Structure 1
Amino acid sequence: MEESLVLFFEQYSNYALIISIVINIIVAIFGFIPSFFVTGANIIFFGFWTGTLISFLGESIGAIVAFLLYRKGFKKLSTLTVEKYPKAKTLLWKQGKEAFYLILSLRLLPFVPSGLVTFISSIGKVSFIIFAIASTIGKVPALLIEAYSVYQVTQWTWQGKVILVGAGLYLVILAFKNNRNK
């Protein structure tokens, strides 16, 4: 996917920046599609720092657009669904500083799906401004870690190999646990 996106950027190089941001917005709206392939394509095409900055802008704008869309369309429908997830309920009712710090901390954790944080925030009581600021600030370290990891993997450095082995082991353990629970 990453290679296809780089080829697309090359084909439409005058619009690559806009295309990248739009793709990041779409990824954020869907909420379950990982963004690392866009980050990887951005780093390969634009270079490490510019690609990381473009990914940051796209993901931040994407989270804000997704928040607004989710809030408009899912608020009433989804409150009942979230009741099934006790940890998610915590964010659902937070406001002000508490919501800010919770969103910020959830954005810092790489294993918490970004789409889930956006979705629960949007149907909860958190204000748009609090969400936008906390989400954007929280994306900085998370995206730097993601960008560094993607860069190391694409450059096939020893750190990239360790990252891939670690990700592979994680997936094997996850599959084992999932199979064991069945």
Structure 2
Amino acid sequence: MWRDYLIELFSASGPWIAVVISIVINTIISILAFVPSVFITAANLAFFGFLIGTLISFLGESIGAVVSFWLYRKGIKKFAPDALLKNKWLFRLQQTDGKNAFILVLALRLFPFAPSGLVTLAGATSKIGLGSFAVASTIGKIPALLIEAFSVYQVLQWNTPGKIILTLVAIALLIGAWKSRKKSDKA
């Protein structure tokens, strides 16, 4: 549904405006921090093709992370400076600066299960500079986005790898829901 709407919007706008729209949407998704970017990635791949669509998604996510970092830094330090003290890795990032902060942002971006919004939020509350964050975050997004783009593309093609990927995602979601329910039943 969303993918189809975005493709229609891209088609009506023309290719250059579609690139701008895609990057703006990706930036908004990054700012919101909890909305998955897979829908815009799917629309980019379907409209622009695999290579250009992946590149546009990468640009959108990278620009979105930098804009989010800047906005979060402006807001979080004023309103909730201790918001991320519960997670040891995110807490460690908050206490780190310079080269160590750069490496930690890069590592967290490379780690597939680290929520992107939380990494950006933790970076914004740390001592890392905007430039260092931008470079580390952008480099770290490359493998994750390539995996996402490949997976989405395979699902869109609905071939054997796509069916396997979708089946594995469905199984993972079912296991997660089952574990969450068991945990809530115990509480």
Same fold (TM over 0.5): yes
Match of 2:12 in 1: 11
Question: 1:46-74: CA deviations, max 9, x gaps?
Answer: 01100101111111011000000000111
Match of 2:55 in 1: 53
Match of 2:110 in 1: 108
- Cα deviation for residue 10 of structure 1 reads 0.9
Question: 1:74-109: CA deviations, max 9, x gaps?
Answer: 113222221233332111111112111111111112
Aligned letter for 1:51? G
Match of 2:22 in 1: 20
CA distance in 2, matches of 1:79, 1:173: 35
Match of 2:73 in 1: 71
Match of 2:95 in 1: 93
CA distance in 2, matches of 1:155, 1:109: 27
- Cα deviation for residue 12 of structure 1 reads 1.2
When the two structures are superposed, what TM-score results if normalisation uses the length of structure 1?
A: 0.96
Equivalent residue in structure 2 for 1:134, among 124, 128, 136: 136
Match of 2:160 in 1: 158
CA distance in 2, matches of 1:113, 1:56: 16
Tell me if structure 2 keeps the 8 A contact 1:40–1:150: yes
Tell me if structure 2 keeps the 8 A contact 1:93–1:126: no
Q: Which runs of 5+ in 1 are unaligned?
A: none
**Consecutive aligned runs of 4 or more in structure 1 exceeding 4 Å deviation:** none
Tell me if structure 2 keeps the 8 A contact 1:95–1:126: yes
The 3-state SS of whatever aligns with 2:81 is: helix
Aligned length: 182
Aligned letter for 2:72? Y
Q: Which runs of 5+ in 2 are unaligned?
A: none
- Cα deviation for residue 115 of structure 1 reads 0.7
Tell me if structure 2 keeps the 8 A contact 1:106–1:112: yes
- Cα deviation for residue 155 of structure 1 reads 0.5
Equivalent residue in structure 2 for 1:179, among 158, 178, 181: 181
**CA RMSD between the two structures:** 1.1
The 3-state SS of whatever aligns with 2:83 is: helix
Counting aligned pairs with the same residue, the percent is: 52
Aligned letter for 1:55? S
